[in-house]
Structure 1
Amino acid sequence: MDEQTPIGELISGAAQDAGGWLGALEVAQVATSPDGTIVRWNHVAQQLLGYTPPEVMGRHIADLLHPGADRSLGRSLWETAATGRGVMGTVTAWHREGHPLELEIWACPVHSGRLGASSVLVFAADAHAARRIRGSSAVWDGLFSRSPVGIAVLDTHLRFLQVNPALEAMNGLPESAHVGRRLAELLPEVNAGEMEEAMRQVLSTGEPVLDRRRVGRTPADPEHDRVWSCSYVRVEDPGGRPIGVIASLLDITEQQRAHTEAEAGRRRLALLSEASVRMGASLELERTAQELADLAAPDLADAVTVDILDTLARGDEPGMGLGGGVALRRLGKAPLTGSDITDILAPLGRTLAFPAAAPYTQALAARQPFLIARLDERAIAPAARHSTAPAQLLRAGVHSFMMVPLVARDLVLGVATFYRTGSAGPFGSDDVTLAGELAARAAVSIDNARLYHREHETAVVLQRSMLPQHITPPPGVEVAHRYLPASDVNEVGGDWYDVLHLPDGKAALLIGDVMGHGIAAAAVMGRLSATVRALARLDMPPTDLLHHLEATLADLAEPMLATFLYAVCDPATGRCTITRAGHPPPAAAAPDGTVRLLKTPPGAPLGVGGIDFTTTDVVLPRGSVLVLYTDGLIEARGSDIDQRLTDLTRLLTEPQRPLDHLCDSLITRLVPASADDDIALLTARIGTTLRPYPADGHS
């Protein structure tokens, strides 16, 4: 120091020289003249010992140690400091209010022309506070150097000031590479902008930010993404002003991976559960293919297409060989709109042809999933020789791709293709497994639909072949009839009708319904129809005929039931003898528009056994229409059967219409949508000849 240095500057410079833990305390600063009298007393000294500057200025510093008693200890300490050796230790001083106060002091001589060679500066602090600070500092030093948690100290400009060894290891960079640089400059491959924004928030509000995720790659592991849990706390000076941020980082990559895998497992189970409920219930190729696409997008992929062998889509059997290439028809696609790749992917219904060397054909032939985890120019080169679509998809942002063949019962049925775009990660082995399970379920549903349609078509052909192809009623009877098979949601049943010539110009009108569906029901219907035709030619009484039909059912290997209605009508007299076996009642419409359901004993279905059948005779006015039908015409889910019968009779109030028109009206008005069950309908106008007979009556 030169002779012109003010005392305040000397004290400030000495305080900086003290450094270390002392800089974190409220420190009393005292200066003495060469003879030991106090010449400076700062406000911290006043707060610490209670004396105001006028009360101590000019007094010897030793008076503060045991005042009024032996001052030899105080003088000894001052003389030691004044000689140039300096003093650092613990002493007991007396507070102005008379109680002792333990202080830690640091005293040193100051060489100044103004103060003299033996002038002394004394720094003092509460000993208990000093020990606490030293302890905290030791704890901090140990924590900082040995903690497995990454720790960094940053200034208010978010520049690194200090990092611990754990953070050096996490970032793969030494402390010297950190100091003076920001996170965004140091690690560009992590979400540094988001992290710095969190630190600015801490500096601004003072509220800590906990468990903010840092994700990316560092020089410590440049080939893999890692995840860190970061927390930020503001550091303040004694006045509460922010002076920096302390960041702590914990590598949670493995925990995050385990959590992600658990979430993926739950997602997989949920998706498979949903697939078991939603997929395949319709037994329709198109609907099942679209259900697979809708299930997989967006939960598994951003876009999905489902292509079925063109032969299968046409209703033919799928071929076994793919050596000459393959033709696929697109029956499923998701999303249909709103995606960048929607227009690139072929639309629904389009038939796509692939040569033998194309990846699609090879994937089908191999019957194994085909995965390109990271799609790039090199990866699309084989497919690009056959189509421009791969290059378009790459430009549209598709970065991961997989194909999974649809295989069921050792038959290749088609292929499902999955695309990922945007920020979603590449497909992995778990995704391939999930896609394979979804494809396997869809393939079984598609094959079930194929087998069902084949059996359904067989049953329809059998059913139609057993129905009368050409009905020629006897004179005096006009007939019209309709048969409507069930929709594809349900199988073909065993409904049938017939009109037979009987002796004496009579006609047998009959209708039946074998309970059950499919080929078996159609075959039983054929046996019953043939039996009725054979027995009716013998002019057998109706009740005996029904008992013979029961015997026919009893001969079957598998018991079956059937409802049946047999009406013998004489067009000359209008008399009809009606026998029912559990069948819906016939309706009769008189020429004047009067309509009624004929009240006849319902009986029990054929096959129940032990039931006596009864007959009912009615006489219908000339030109009356008798309507026979199966339950498919009047039964509908959610509808009351009595209301449906009322609707039927209401539609018969214009019996003079042509019978073909009447049949069409009944079908379209009562069954506006696809039928839930087969429908057989037989209408007959009785007494169309001029031969007179009684107007109406019963016997």
Structure 2
Amino acid sequence: MSNQDATEAHRDAGPERLRARLRLVEEAAEQIGTTLDEQAICTELCRFLCRHLCDAAAVDLLAEATAARFPPREPELTRVTSAGLVKVLQAQFPEEGTGGSAAGNPSLRALIEGHPRTAAGVLKGGMSAQAAAVPLVAHGRCYGVLLALRAGGTFRDDEMATVHHAARLAAAHLAHARRHAAVQRTAMDLQRALLAEPGRPHPNLELATRYLPSGTSALVGGDWFEAVRLHYGRTLLVVGDVMGHGLDAAVDMNAYRSSLRDVASADLPPHRVLRQLDAAVAKDEARRPATCLLARVDPARGLAGFAGAGHLPPVVFGPDGTAELVRVPVGPPLGTGAGGYELVTRPLTADETLLMFTDGLVERRGEDIDDSLARLARIRLPAGTGVEDVLDEVLRHLDAAHAEDDVAVLAARLRRYPGQEPVGH
């Protein structure tokens, strides 16, 4: 090839190389950071690099509490010899007889991708290699270090620029994931504090509660429960669900809970409590609507009075462990200002257990709600099951640990004292 031909070939290679790099940049944007999971982000980064630019890659991810502040200036790309990757690759490929293990590098959070033969060859000294160490920096913080290994060759400047771009992209997603996780923890801590314990019922009532956050939801919900002492040994039991998720839903849930305590202190029947609460909430346009179910339990008379605001009905488990749905008229959700709540009463004995719950306990995607409630009503519990065990058995039967929405559930039973005759005898 003549000098002129070589010059023209080099000139043509420049634009083509630039186009190839732009394609890689676009691919990196599509393939890195598809989730809010740190491990997944690191996996996507290493897989991208190993497909296009290197033979093995690893991320040494700093713990959140120790993420270092980085100078605002752009960090220099650092090139190191393969010796800098020895302990990393030993942890990644212990089966190759290198004698290393992951325990030797406890700060390592992600070791993904690579070719075992290449790694083993480098470790045994039978192959030349170059490694690039690039800090994962975003918004002035360093979240870890990317290590990329190329065996039998070196990184060109344009390739190093692409590695650096991918590292910065991953770091930005790591920063976003950690901010999101911090907000989620705040919301969860708030809801746990608000739901730590409902109010104390009268001693004549046994009470058990559970709250299970959804395992699939990225945001906390507005599910809640409450118990309010009333006059003459009666207790008002409450289960509610603020529409939506997130910190705002948790804040509104607390506002509903506080307002209900104030209204209930007047010792009104359940349907009038809902009527006043609905009217008060409707005046605040910023408040989210909520569903709610009230049950006023009167142990002295052996009665329970129910009223609902767009909420699912309760269930009563009888002495033989069979379940019965209590048909409560469904009024509009709280916050609409429409009112129209009705009271229904039912006898309740010390041999029966009342169960109130939010929709996450029974609702399943693609299933009619009547079928969901029927599945709950088909549960048969051993006779004499305690209040706490009733909750555990119901949650187990309905696989509530894998529910698609948050679950709040409350069980109550009249307390029978030694020598006391059953109500109605």
Which category describes the TM-score, using the shorter chain as reference length? 0.7 to 0.9
Deviation at 1:512, TM superposition (A): 0.9
The residue type paired with residue 146 of structure 2 is A
Q: Which residue of structure 1 aligns with residue 340 of structure 2?
A: 612
Deviation at 1:673, TM superposition (A): 4.7
Asked if 2 retains the 8 angstrom alpha-carbon contact of 1:297 and 1:334, the reply is: no
For residues 285-434 of structure 1, the aligned pairs below 5 Å read: 285-310=38-63, 312=64, 316=65, 318-320=67-69, 347=102, 350-352=105-107, 395=125, 397=127, 399-422=129-152, 426-434=154-162
| Pair 659,541 (structure 1): closer, same or farther in 2 beyond 3 Å | closer
Asked if 2 retains the 8 angstrom alpha-carbon contact of 1:309 and 1:318, the reply is: yes
Asked if 2 retains the 8 angstrom alpha-carbon contact of 1:497 and 1:681, the reply is: yes
2:390 to 628, 649, 662: 662
The residue type paired with residue 237 of structure 2 is L
Q: Distance in 1 between matches of 2:57 and 2:135?
A: 13
| Pair 263,552 (structure 1): closer, same or farther in 2 beyond 3 Å | same
Q: Which residue of structure 2 aligns with residue 269 of structure 1?
A: 26
Q: Distance in 2 between matches of 1:497 and 1:319?
A: 42
Asked if 2 retains the 8 angstrom alpha-carbon contact of 1:561 and 1:607, the reply is: yes
Asked if 1 retains the 8 angstrom alpha-carbon contact of 2:238 and 2:295, the reply is: yes
SS in 1 for 2:330: coil
SS in 2 for 1:351: coil
Asked if 2 retains the 8 angstrom alpha-carbon contact of 1:404 and 1:417, the reply is: yes
Ranked by relative contact order (alpha carbons within 8 Å, sequence separation 6 or more), the top structure is 2
Structure 2 residues not aligned, in runs of 5+: 72-84, 109-118
| Pair 300,668 (structure 1): closer, same or farther in 2 beyond 3 Å | farther
Q: Which residue of structure 2 aligns with residue 368 of structure 1?
A: none
Q: Distance in 2 between matches of 1:647 and 1:612?
A: 29
Is 1:597 aligned to 2:325, yes or no?
yes
| Pair 334,265 (structure 1): closer, same or farther in 2 beyond 3 Å | farther
Deviation at 1:671, TM superposition (A): 2.9
Deviation at 1:509, TM superposition (A): 1.0
Is 1:462 aligned to 2:190, yes or no?
yes
Asked if 1 retains the 8 angstrom alpha-carbon contact of 2:131 and 2:150, the reply is: yes
Q: Distance in 2 between matches of 1:483 and 1:558?
A: 26
| Pair 552,654 (structure 1): closer, same or farther in 2 beyond 3 Å | farther
| Pair 263,498 (structure 1): closer, same or farther in 2 beyond 3 Å | same
Q: Which residue of structure 1 aligns with residue 116 of structure 2?
A: none
Asked if 2 retains the 8 angstrom alpha-carbon contact of 1:478 and 1:688, the reply is: no
| Pair 293,588 (structure 1): closer, same or farther in 2 beyond 3 Å | same
Q: Which residue of structure 1 aligns with residue 412 of structure 2?
A: 684
TM-score (normalised: structure 1): 0.50
The residue type paired with residue 105 of structure 2 is R
Q: Which residue of structure 2 aligns with residue 284 of structure 1?
A: 37
1:535 to 263, 287, 301: 263
Q: Distance in 2 between matches of 1:336 and 1:457?
A: 32
2:178 to 440, 444, 450: 450
Deviation at 1:494, TM superposition (A): 1.7
Deviation at 1:562, TM superposition (A): 1.2
| Pair 263,490 (structure 1): closer, same or farther in 2 beyond 3 Å | same
Q: Distance in 2 between matches of 1:532 and 1:408?
A: 46
Range 295-304 or range 497-506, more displaced:
295-304
Q: Distance in 2 between matches of 1:549 and 1:635?
A: 26
Is 1:574 aligned to 2:323, yes or no?
no
Deviation at 1:502, TM superposition (A): 1.2
Range 516-525 or range 485-494, more displaced:
485-494
The residue type paired with residue 473 of structure 1 is P
RMSD between aligned residues: 3.8
Cα displacement string for residues 551-602 of structure 1 (whole angstroms, at most 9, x for unaligned residues): 5534656331211111111123332111111112111111133312211122
Deviation at 1:658, TM superposition (A): 1.5
Deviation at 1:260, TM superposition (A): 5.2
Asked if 1 retains the 8 angstrom alpha-carbon contact of 2:313 and 2:328, the reply is: yes
TM-score (normalised: structure 2): 0.79
Asked if 1 retains the 8 angstrom alpha-carbon contact of 2:225 and 2:239, the reply is: yes
SS in 1 for 2:353: strand
Cα displacement string for residues 422-472 of structure 1 (whole angstroms, at most 9, x for unaligned residues): 4xx532343333333333332232222222222222222221222253654
Q: Distance in 1 between matches of 2:280 and 2:136?
A: 45
The residue type paired with residue 351 of structure 1 is P
Asked if 1 retains the 8 angstrom alpha-carbon contact of 2:37 and 2:177, the reply is: yes
| Pair 535,652 (structure 1): closer, same or farther in 2 beyond 3 Å | farther
Deviation at 1:497, TM superposition (A): 0.9
Asked if 1 retains the 8 angstrom alpha-carbon contact of 2:240 and 2:292, the reply is: yes
| Pair 489,290 (structure 1): closer, same or farther in 2 beyond 3 Å | farther
Asked if 2 retains the 8 angstrom alpha-carbon contact of 1:304 and 1:334, the reply is: no
SS in 2 for 1:495: strand
| Pair 290,348 (structure 1): closer, same or farther in 2 beyond 3 Å | farther
SS in 2 for 1:676: coil
Asked if 2 retains the 8 angstrom alpha-carbon contact of 1:405 and 1:416, the reply is: yes
The residue type paired with residue 69 of structure 2 is M
SS in 2 for 1:563: strand
Is 1:546 aligned to 2:299, yes or no?
no
Asked if 2 retains the 8 angstrom alpha-carbon contact of 1:280 and 1:446, the reply is: no
Asked if 1 retains the 8 angstrom alpha-carbon contact of 2:315 and 2:356, the reply is: yes
Deviation at 1:489, TM superposition (A): 4.5
SS in 1 for 2:148: strand
SS in 2 for 1:450: helix
SS in 1 for 2:147: strand
Deviation at 1:625, TM superposition (A): 1.1
Cα displacement string for residues 159-178 of structure 1 (whole angstroms, at most 9, x for unaligned residues): xxxxxxxx6x47xxxxxxxx
Q: Distance in 2 between matches of 1:335 and 1:273?
A: 31
**Identity percentage of aligned residues:** 31
Asked if 2 retains the 8 angstrom alpha-carbon contact of 1:398 and 1:419, the reply is: no
